[in-house]
Amino acid sequence: MLWVDKYRPRSLDKIIVHREIADNLKNLVSEHDCPHLLFYGPPGAGKKTLIIALLKQIFGPGAEKVKVENRPWKIERCFSKGKVYIQLISYPCLHQMAGTRTIEVELTTVSSNYHVELNPSDVGFQDKYVVQEIIKEMAKSRPIDINGNKGYKVLVLNEVDKLSKEAQHSLRRTMELYSGVCRIILCCNSASKVIEAVRSRCLNVRINAPSKELIIEVLEYIAKKEGLQLPIGFAGRIAIQSERNLRRAILCFETCRVQQYPFTDNQPVQPMDWEQYISEIASDIVNEQSPKRLFMVRGKIYDLLVNCIPPEVVLKRLVFELMKKLDSELKHEVCHWAAYYEHRMHLGQKAIFHIEAFIAKFMSIYKKFLIATFG
């Protein structure tokens, strides 16, 4: 088991990072009925760890007995008299229909007797159907009441900032309609991309990125549990390179343990494999600007995407690596087009098209710069 999972705190009492938030959550669920919650903050800050610990605080050890399902759903859109009715296909239409259309979606859920966790944005532009019907069906089913546990179920929705506006408005209605039997915990990186109507119905919990000192404290805790000697200078360099991402710091620490032990103060901290791969892609782009090179780079970008590196992360890291190789006069224009294609990527469905379009645009800009400079 990876250290990031092995040493993940499973209860609010064992939280090292965000100790004050953990105490406040513990008091909240012990003294009051748990409200809808919105956890937001940068990746690797500890949002999921706090949610897992909170579920155990509410429901006890039963919340940890989870099963993972990759379940297909069929949603039927029924058209009648100019209106559209959307419902699960397992329920017959009650109206006289002029026509129907069946939409099939597939979602991975993590569930226990007390909660269900899923990512509605995984289905792309069909996310509104997931919110309108699938989540509605989950919200309507009461949990198994064992040993006097809470009389409501919890839905954990990840990456709600990536949901379409239509899906978020549907989520607002679901939160209001089924609040008696269901609590919703939302998790995202940026609360600004969540509509005000949803934010106002939740208790907003800001999870800040952990400081360098806290990351070092966690690394020392893991080293003690593993029986390792960790030089403070080496731990500090891991914390700096992790860019305040605790998950990344722990993964990097485990990688260094595999590469070399005992540790030394001057031991190199290797970058993540995908980061090194993107650095090589940036070098390929700068070294040659041609359709042949663009085709080759496209294949490498696709390799990253099929290995589950988020497209936003790929584009951001690629721009970061390209900036290292550019003159100052080009940086502003390249940043402008990076923002332009990132925005288009959020509006579209195929991220590879927009990343490739940015690379083609960069090649065009850089080629013109080289011709103007060197002739």
DSSP secondary structure letters along 40-87:
E--TTSSHHHHHHHHHHHHH-GGGG--EEEEEEEEEEEEEETTEEEEE
Predicted confidence (pLDDT) at residue 83 exceeds the cutoff of 70: no
DSSP secondary structure string for all residues of 216-235: HHHHHHHHHHHT----HHHH
Its CATH architecture, for the domain 3-66+108-206, is: 3-Layer(aba) Sandwich (3.40)
Q: Domain ranges for the chain, please list them.
A: 3-66+108-206, 212-259, 277-374
- How far is Cα 226 from Cα 5, in angstroms, rounded to an integer? 14
- Write b or e for each residue in 301-324: b if 16 or more Cβ atoms lie within 10 A of its Cβ, otherwise e: beebeeeebebeebbebbbebbee
User: What pLDDT, on the 0 to 100 scale, is given for residue 4?
Assistant: 83
- Global confidence as pTM: 0.79
Residue with more model confidence, 375 or 207: 207
- How far is Cα 246 from Cα 252, in angstroms, rounded to an integer? 10
User: What pLDDT, on the 0 to 100 scale, is given for residue 38?
Assistant: 92
134 — alpha (psi -120 to 50), left (phi > 0) or beta? alpha
Predicted confidence (pLDDT) at residue 169 exceeds the cutoff of 70: yes
Residue with more model confidence, 99 or 121: 121
pLDDT in tens, 117-152: 888 887 777 787 777 777 777 766 665 554 445 677
Predicted confidence (pLDDT) at residue 172 exceeds the cutoff of 60: yes
DSSP state of 353: H
Which CATH code, of 3.40.50.300, 3.40.50.970, 3.90.1150.10, 1.20.272.10, is assigned to 277-374? 1.20.272.10
State the residue for tokens 């065009």: 364
- How far is Cα 281 from Cα 169, in angstroms, rounded to an integer? 40
pLDDT over 70 for what percent of the chain? Answer: 89
User: What pLDDT, on the 0 to 100 scale, is given for residue 91?
Assistant: 42
Give the Cβ contact number of residue 97 at 10 Å.
14
Q: What average pLDDT does the chain have?
A: 82
User: What pLDDT, on the 0 to 100 scale, is given for residue 298?
Assistant: 92
Confidence of residue 8 (pLDDT cuts 50, 70, 90): confident
Predicted confidence (pLDDT) at residue 216 exceeds the cutoff of 80: yes
Confidence of residue 375 (pLDDT cuts 50, 70, 90): low
Predicted confidence (pLDDT) at residue 300 exceeds the cutoff of 80: yes
DSSP secondary structure string for all residues of 163-206: S-HHHHHHHHHHHHHTTTTEEEEEEES-GGGS-HHHHTTSEEEE
Distance of CA 150 to the CA centre of its chain: 28
Predicted confidence (pLDDT) at residue 86 exceeds the cutoff of 50: no
User: What pLDDT, on the 0 to 100 scale, is given for residue 11?
Assistant: 86
Q: Are 321 and 279 in contact (CB under 8 A)?
A: yes
Q: Choose the weakest-confidence range: 211-225, 258-272, 280-294.
A: 258-272
Q: Choose the weakest-confidence range: 91-95, 241-245, 284-288, 302-306.
A: 91-95
